[in-house]
Amino acid sequence: MKLIVCVKQVPDTSGVVAVKEDGTMDRAAMDTITNHDDLAAVEAALQIKDATGCKVVVISMGPPPAEGMLRELLARGCDEAVLVSAREFGGSDTYATSQILAAAIKKVGVEEDDIILCGRQAIDGDTAQVGPQIAEKLHVPQVSYAADIQVEGKTVTVKRLLEDGYMTLKVQTPCLITCVKELNQPRYMSVGGIMEAYSKPYAVYNFETLKDDPLIDLDTIGLKGSPTNVYKSFSPPVKGAGMMLEGAGKEACEKLVALLDAKHLI
């Protein structure tokens, strides 16, 4: 049994947002962190590893500096890391990203009893699409919004969050599960782990590595191959100093609620 965890390095939301000419985000100009939901997926994998002794492979698509994040995850206890990085992959939307990651996962190899774990969504795009799209491209069942995962042989029981409760689902491996950050509390790196992190297997998959996979077609990957394109991107009007409402009665409250409604906040 092996666990493959997809992780993304994302800009720190508390930092400054920079945008490039083509409307995509200028990631290089921002501080980066490991996406929160993905850390929960890594921790879930490490807990399963603690219980079963299986192998954990982390995989990330991104620019070369993402290596730092992958080394940190190796230091937490993951066994192998793969960085998927190529100029041809840049600017991919969720569809193109999932094609590339699915091809990379196939290259790592998906066995009968393997589980692929992803975060529910990344804080930069907030789409929650890549996980399910990878599952579709790999033809494996998916369970999203996992708040509890129990593995018993080839059977996985997952508590899947709904807005107003949860569903308990049973699925057979190989399968893909997307995790929410409420699933667990990620562990820290250990000193021993950091020492070992640089001697663990680390691979870079570029366009050459993956190009023979039928999913990798220059027409369906990267900025040009993505089905969706940015038509316009813009900033909301600058937040003013705030607005004091006249009076403190029913009228003021109703006015406030109307303002919130107009801004689609409620």
The answer to whether 78 touches 220, Cβ cutoff 8 Å, is no
CB nearer to other proteins: pick between 22 and 196: 22
Cβ closest to other proteins, residue 195 vs residue 257: 257
Question: Among residues 28, 195, 218, 260, which is the contact residue for other proteins, using CB under 8 A?
Answer: 260
Task: Indicate whether 28 belongs to the interface with other proteins (CB under 8 A).
Answer: no
Pick from 128, 189, 204, 223 the residue near other proteins by CB under 8 A: 128
Pick between residue 195 and residue 230 the one whose CB is nearest to other proteins. 230
Q: What is the torsional sign of CA 16, 22, 28, 33? A: positive
11: contact with other proteins by CB under 8 A: yes
Strands 55-61 and 175-179: unpaired
Residue 14, interface with other proteins (CB under 8 A)?
yes
- For the bound state, the minimum distance from the C-beta of residue 116 to other proteins, rounded and expressed in Å, comes to 14
What lies within 8 Å, CB to CB, of 112 at 6+ separation is 154, 173, 174
DSSP string, 73-109: HHHHT--EEEEE--GGGTT--HHHHHHHHHHHHHHH-
Q: How far apart are CA 163 and CA 53, in angstroms?
A: 34
Residue numbers 164-203 binding other proteins by CB under 8 A: 164-172, 175, 181-182
Give the per-residue contact string, 56-95, with other proteins (x = CB under 8 A; - = no). Answer: -------------------------------------xxx
Q: Taking the complex as a whole, how short is the minimal distance between the CB of residue 31 and other proteins, in angstroms?
A: 13
What does the CA dihedral 128, 133, 134, 139 come to, rounded to 10 degrees? 140
**Using CB under 8 A, which of 1, 25, 33, 54 touches other proteins?**
25
CB nearer to other proteins: pick between 64 and 242: 242
CB 44, min distance to other proteins, A:
17
Query: Whole-angstrom distance between the N-terminal and C-terminal Cα of the chain?
Result: 46
Buried b (16+ CB within 10 A) or exposed e, 158-190: bbbbeeeeeeeeebebbbbbbbbbebbebeeee
Residue 174: asked if its preceding bond is cis (omega within 30°), the reply is: yes
Q: What are phi and psi of 72, to 5 degrees?
A: -60, -40
For other proteins, the binding residue among 133, 183, 184, 186 (CB under 8 A) is 133
197-256: which residues touch other proteins (CB under 8 A)?
Answer: 226-239, 241-245, 247-250, 252-254, 256
- Return the residue of 111, 163, 208, 212 that touches other proteins, per CB under 8 A: 163
Residue 52 engages other proteins in binding (rule: CB under 8 A)? no
